[in-house]
Chains A and B, each alone.
Chain A
Amino acid sequence: GDKVKQSPSALSLQEGTNSALRCNFSIAATTVQWFLQNPRGSLINLFYLVPGTKENGRLKSAFDSKESYSTLHIRDAQLEDSGTYFCAAPSSNTNKVVFGTGTRLQVLP
């Protein structure tokens, strides 16, 4: 099955509202990365996390390695936040970085 599962798979938000995306791991992840793939296909680094939290503007991410999950919170969603959000984590004891299934976000005016 999927080693890194994201939820929800798709989401529509009104501009100005808040939301949370989740990433669950069935691998023993020690770090996690979050990316946004914009509608043109470019992958943009959002966060690289060890266990704990990080904040950057309207985005905040948390990673709990013991409970094997990570969250990405979006505050005051803007139209340019639309795209697909991926989390990724290294598979234990290898250099393989495994990507999640993605959350497709659409922000509506």
Chain B
Amino acid sequence: GGIITQTPKFLIGQEGQKLTLKCQQNFNHDTMYWYRQDSGKGLRLIYYSITENDLQKGDLSEGYDASREKKSSFSLTVTSAQKNEMAVFLCASSIASSAETLYFGSGTRLTVL
């Protein structure tokens, strides 16, 4: 078995601040994803990556940057935190492509003051 680790679990930032969320997986999966979930809502795709150094925009990429430094890690940067940014950010991975099962981390809860 494997695990997806997201850090930090809770992140508090100031409006306008640049904030980085990290995700590590030891499944040796090729594809990794970042989703945002607002309170009581579904998951929306921000960025995904099909291999090291690859980046693909999702439906919600504006205001975010991502980086796939190596196969096992995928980081997400909020370029300028806004008060309406408060949400849970979920990282996921899958073996090769979207036609495979996704496995999720436990999330990073972002609060912007």
Contact = CB atoms under 8 A, between A and B. Distances in A.
A96 B92 CA distance: 12
Interface in A77-94: 86, 88, 90-91, 94
A76 B78 CA distance: 44
B113 interface: no
A95 B42 contact: no
Interface string B25-42: 000000101010000011
A96 B43 contact: no
A97 B106 contact: no
Contact of A43 (B31, B94, B104): B104
Q: Using C-beta atoms within 8 Å of the partner chain, give the interface range for chain B.
A: 20 to 34
A88 B35 CA distance: 13
Interface stretch (A11-19, A56-64, A66-74, A98-106): A98-106
A95 B56 contact: yes
Contacts of B41: 102
Q: Using C-beta atoms within 8 Å of the partner chain, give the interface range for chain A.
A: 20 to 34
Interface stretch (B15-23, B63-71, B95-103): B95-103
Contact of A95 (B88, B90, B98, B104): B98
B58 interface: yes
A90 B99 contact: yes
A91 B102 CA distance: 14
Contact of A90 (B56, B58, B98): B98
| Residue among B43, B48, B104 with the highest chain A CB neighbour number at 10 A | B43
A44 to B, nearest CB: 9
Nearest to A4: B42
Given A48-B101, A95-B31, A95-B97, A43 B90 contact: yes
Interface of A: 30-31, 33, 35, 41-43, 45, 48, 86, 88, 90-91, 94-102
Interface of B: 31, 33, 35, 41-45, 48, 50, 56, 58-59, 88, 90, 92, 94, 97-104, 106-107
